């Protein structure tokens, strides 16, 4: 197993803004914090062997269930641009889908993916204006061009990541793509989400826009600090911005948005600061130790949510923080929310043991990778997960 990792360049994002009359401001303090529940390990461990050609860097990792009910764990190997498939339950390696770099099925610079079925695997590319659809043999079946919306906005290429959790959302053959204020787009006019209608070949913006949180010519300051996570719970979109205490819940058309304050008891406040570092690793270290929030994950089996929080930590010198970024931070907690977005608990995890960016939700519980590269028991040949359940606290 190779011990080096590639820089995971996070797309910059900023706080959500919609028309004031369509955003519910009065619900900001609606949530109570009872802390009646916690996440507890239930003793279940899943371990998957990885070969020497697989880099221990998992920016895209998703589960998939086929029409027969068979469950798969899949992840992208960035070393050779391939997707690996494992039997989720018996932990056996099954096969790889090679993403071609040259020839008629070439996909340039794949960054993420979504599995609709074995004949339809959508591959995203961070720097090209196309969405590529391949099968498990890697044969290219379709290229979908992003292009421009009817209003003339040029759609930013989309990444389907799990490190910054923004999975694919298809609703009635419409693909809902999150956007970013970069590549010259003014922050204040960038849409939060655009829609590609794959049947009628229409492309249009949804009404929410990004606010002018920073100057348009200072996007370099944003980086990881302005990222967000987005999920669709079957009825609404939920956005978790990394430097915002509030989460934002939008209707499918994004005309109506309400926001709730979901604050960690371990974070006093988050502040976006303008910084400039000559040393990119020093910048990564600073971001790595900053207090902020992270991914928001929906658990459909229990109809609850998990919001990750990262308190400020002091960090050692001499570590490769660029490489560590994709695995997750040294210290984190998970805020537990009920179906109405009330805070019902928060659990702090031990330092340098778990990878908060490498996880999946299952009917057994929340599986989190317990093989962080800084873990004293780190095994570079194993991708392993520990299962956690939400339990009521005995008081």
Q: What is the mean pLDDT of residues 55-75?
A: 95
Whether pLDDT at 371 is above 80? yes
Distance CA(206)–CA(265), nearest Å, equals 34
- Residue 285: the pLDDT is 74
Cβ(125)–Cβ(155) below 8 Å: no
Whether pLDDT at 364 is above 70? yes
Residue length of the chain: 395
Distance CA(176)–CA(204), nearest Å, equals 10
Average pLDDT, the chain: 85
- Residue 3: the pLDDT is 39
Other Cβ atoms less than 10 A from the Cβ of 26: the count is: 8
- Residue 18: the pLDDT is 53
Domains with residue ranges and CATH for the chain: 20-392 (2.130.10.10)
> How wide is the angle at C-alpha 162 spanned by C-alphas 280 and 267, nearest 5°?
65
Distance CA(124)–CA(174), nearest Å, equals 16
Q: What are the pLDDT digits (tens) for 257-312?
A: 999 999 999 999 887 766 655 667 676 777 778 899 999 999 999 999 999 999 99
Q: What is the mean pLDDT of residues 329-353?
A: 96
**Least confident segment among 63-67, 322-326, 382-386:** 322-326
At residue 224, φ and ψ (nearest 5 deg) are -65, -30
Whether pLDDT at 25 is above 80? no
Distance CA(374)–CA(351), nearest Å, equals 9
- Residue 6: the pLDDT is 33
Q: What is the mean pLDDT of residues 30-52?
A: 89
Q: What is the mean pLDDT of residues 188-194?
A: 85
Cβ(361)–Cβ(297) below 8 Å: yes
- Residue 78: the pLDDT is 85
Q: What are the pLDDT digits (tens) for 107-120?
A: 998 999 999 999 99
> How wide is the angle at C-alpha 352 spanned by C-alphas 381 and 341, nearest 5°?
110
Contacts of 163 (CB under 8 A, 6+ apart): 8, 10, 58, 59, 60, 326, 328, 357, 358
Nearest to 337 by CA among 42, 36, 26, 40: 36
């Amino acid at each position: 197993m190779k011990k080096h990792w590639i820089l995971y360049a996070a797309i910059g994002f900023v706080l959500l803004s919609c028309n004031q009359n369509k955003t519910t401001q009065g619900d900001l303090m609606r949530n109570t914090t009872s802390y009646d529940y916690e996440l507890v390990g239930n003793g279940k461990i899943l371990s998957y062997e990885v070969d020497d050609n697989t880099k221990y860097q998992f920016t895209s990792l998703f589960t998939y269930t086929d029409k027969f009910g068979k469950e798969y764990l899949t992840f992208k190997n960035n070393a050779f641009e391939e997707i690996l498939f494992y039997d989720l339950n018996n932990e056996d390696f099954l096969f790889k889908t090679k993403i071609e770099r040259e020839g008629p099925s070439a996909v340039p610079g794949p960054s993420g993916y979504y599995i609709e079925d074995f004949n339809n695997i959508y591959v995203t590319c961070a720097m090209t204006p196309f969405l590529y659809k391949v099968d498990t043999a890697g044969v290219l079946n379709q290229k979908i061009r992003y292009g421009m919306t009817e209003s003339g906005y040029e759609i930013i290429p989309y990444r389907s990541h799990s490190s910054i959790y923004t999975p694919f959302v298809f609703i009635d053959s419409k693909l809902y793509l999150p956007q970013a204020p970069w590549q010259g787009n003014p922050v204040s006019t960038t849409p939060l989400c655009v829609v590609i209608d794959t049947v009628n070949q229409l492309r249009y913006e949804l009404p929410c826009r990004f606010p002018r949180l920073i100057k348009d010519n200072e996007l370099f300051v944003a980086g990881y600090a302005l990222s967000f996570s987005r999920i669709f719970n079957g009825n609404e979109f939920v956005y978790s911005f990394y430097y915002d205490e509030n989460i934002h819940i939008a209707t499918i058309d994004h005309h109506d948005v309400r926001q709730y304050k979901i604050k960690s008891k371990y974070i006093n406040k988050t502040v976006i600061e303008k910084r400039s570092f000559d040393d990119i690793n020093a910048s990564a270290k600073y971001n790595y130790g900053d207090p902020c929030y992270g991914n928001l994950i929906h658990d459909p089996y229990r109809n609850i949510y998990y919001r990750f929080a990262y308190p400020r930590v002091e960090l050692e010198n001499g570590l490769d923080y660029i490489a560590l970024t994709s695995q997750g931070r040294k210290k984190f907690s998970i805020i537990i929310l009920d179906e109405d977005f009330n805070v019902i608990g928060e659990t702090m995890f031990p330092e340098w043991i778990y990878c908060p960016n490498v996880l999946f939700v299952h009917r057994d519980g929340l599986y989190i990778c317990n093989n962080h590269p800084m873990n004293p028991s780190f095994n570079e040949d194993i991708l392993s997960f520990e299962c956690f359940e939400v339990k009521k606290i005995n008081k």
